[in-house]
Amino acid sequence: MKRKRQGGEYRRLLENLRAVARSEEKDWAEEDWRRALRRATIGKQEELRPEWRRRPAWAWAYALVIAILLGAAAVASRSFFRAAWPTLTAEVEPARTGGPAPAGGGAGLAAQDQLSVTFVSVESGLRVYWYFDKEFDWKEEKL
């Protein structure tokens, strides 16, 4: 009910506003209009191109240089970080049988008394095994 009343009110308001809007229309002075047309038709016609195509050539050149620099920086930083932190994966597992004897020459230790950590380099395939005995003394083996 309230909605209907508001709708009716707005319709009346709109009618009043439109009536006023129509009555306040103003026309050009003839001389101004002719001048405006003359000025408008002096220029040449062109296609309406999208905004991005209207950029000048130097803007495209700058964008290209910046893209190349960013690319080079990305490649350089990638090799730097690879060198500083080589990609390694590590697995912790019970020591392999037949592995080297733990530090301190503890021959005869059962496999469950040893722990091995294997590092594998993704790039070179190099495997590094660390063996720990119960005292956490370690020995290293590279394959």
Partner 1 sequence: MDERESRLVELVLQGDNDAFGPLVTPYRKALLTMAYRLCHNWEDAGELSQETLLRTFRYLRSYDPRRSFRNWIFQILVNVWRSSGKSRPDGDALREWAAANPAEGPEEEHARSEIRSQLMECLDGLSRREREVFLLRDIEEMSILETAQALGISPLSVRVRLSLARKKIRERAQEKFPHLLEDRR
Between 33 and 62, CB nearer to partner 1? 33
Residue 27 Cβ vs partner 1, minimum distance, rounded to whole Å = 5
Q: Which residue has the tokens 């080079």?
A: 72
CA angle 134, 127, 112 (to 5 degrees): 25
Picking from 141, 39, 127, the residue whose alpha carbon sits closest to that of residue 88 is 127
Residue 15 Cβ vs partner 1, minimum distance, rounded to whole Å = 8
In whole angstroms, how far apart are CA 88 and each of 25, 69, 143?
78, 29, 15
CA pair distance 136, 115, nearest whole angstrom: 9
Between 15 and 140, CB nearer to partner 1? 15
Residue 36 Cβ vs partner 1, minimum distance, rounded to whole Å = 5
CA pair distance 118, 81, nearest whole angstrom: 22
Between 36 and 73, CB nearer to partner 1? 36
Residue 63 Cβ vs partner 1, minimum distance, rounded to whole Å = 24
Between 55 and 82, CB nearer to partner 1? 55
CA angle 103, 125, 92 (to 5 degrees): 45
* Binding residues for partner 1 (CB under 8 A): 6, 9-10, 12-18, 20-21, 23-28, 32-33, 36-37, 39-41, 43-48
